[in-house]
Amino acid sequence: MRYLIWLFFAICLFATGDASYPGGVAIVPLGEFGKSAPIAHLGGARVRVERLDGEWTAIVGVAIDTKEGSTQTIVYETADGKRMEAKFAVGKKSYPTQKLKVDDRFVELNASTLERAQSEQQEMRSALAVFGDRHSQLRMRLPLVAPISGYFGSRRVFNGKPKRPHSGMDLAAPKGTTIAAPQDGSVALAKNLYFCGNSVLIDHGEGLFTLFCHMDTIAVSKGSEVLAGDELGSVGSTGRVTAAHLHWSVGLNGAWIDPLLLLDANETRAIQTVRNR
């Protein structure tokens, strides 16, 4: 079953074209066919490895700030202790620019607020560095069905000042809408963050995470286990926002990737149907 799910994911991903671009997913054959999976890393981050047509293959999240045209090197160790490398080229991807007006306190940070934000960023990086043993699927359900109001990768300009690219997808649901877990996992973080507001981070295993931000209420706690469809909380407008919505991010080997890449056709159609009403 695991092989069939992985094969389905690979076929769907390839059908949409090469996704080895910033914010995408690279599928990299490792040239190994043994019984045991190689242990692979990219830039020090553990990378998930799956068997495809008998060959061990790395599935790699490509960070949004990765330089286009660069060559990335996956370092892996085989079962017999050999150290090997596999390379892939990073393609081009254009993202739109989005201009937003928010409270000035989320653009010009004083010393204490800056210290808090930096501490929270380090906490998030540490959580995302975990490579759990739980097997995670490579397809997800939507946490809720609503029109997309902000796309992954958009170049954000807040109050006229350029900031980091958008690390997730915004779903324009009204305040109070229930947010559901997209698949099984454990809660790695559930707290208020300065920019993200009330937030929940779920560890799905093998370097796959989902993050839910700007929530009104949080219905889970750190360390609790959730099943696909379980309530995580409700949509709100906490943190740096212009209106109530859900910000949904997907992390893979420590890199934020476009959530749309992990949705099947039915989930994508659900978003399209709502948008066209």
pLDDT digits 0-9 by tens, 26-47: 999 998 888 899 999 999 999 9
* pLDDT band, residue 10 (cuts 50/70/90): low
Residue 73 pairs in a beta bridge with 87
The helix/strand/coil state of 267 is: helix
CA atoms within 13 A on the CB side of 257: 26
pLDDT of residue 272: 61
Lowest pLDDT segment from 7-16, 114-123, 241-250:
7-16
* pLDDT band, residue 212 (cuts 50/70/90): very high
* pLDDT band, residue 14 (cuts 50/70/90): very low
Are the C-beta atoms of 37 and 6 separated by less than 8 Å?
Answer: no
Answer with the residue of higher pLDDT: 238 or 160.
238
Provide mean pLDDT across the span 188-215.
Answer: 97
CATH domain 2-89 topology: Immunoglobulin-like (2.60.40)
Q: Full-prediction pTM beyond 0.85?
A: yes
Are the C-beta atoms of 155 and 97 separated by less than 8 Å?
Answer: yes
Provide mean pLDDT across the span 102-114.
Answer: 77
pLDDT surpasses 70 at 226: yes
Pairing of strands 97-100, 155-158: parallel
Are the C-beta atoms of 167 and 150 separated by less than 8 Å?
Answer: no
Q: Which CATH number fits domain 97-273: 3.40.50.2300, 3.40.50.880, 2.70.70.10, 3.40.228.10?
A: 2.70.70.10
What are the structure tokens assigned to 94, written together?
Answer: 């254009």
pLDDT surpasses 50 at 11: no
Provide mean pLDDT across the span 217-234.
Answer: 98
**Domain limits of the chain?**
2-89, 97-273
Kindly report the number of other CB atoms within 10 A of residue 163's CB atom.
Answer: 15
Mean per-residue pLDDT over the chain, rounded: 88
pLDDT of residue 5: 47
Are the C-beta atoms of 199 and 192 separated by less than 8 Å?
Answer: yes
pLDDT of residue 173: 96
Quick: pLDDT tens for 160-178.
777 778 899 999 999 999 9
Are the C-beta atoms of 181 and 143 separated by less than 8 Å?
Answer: yes
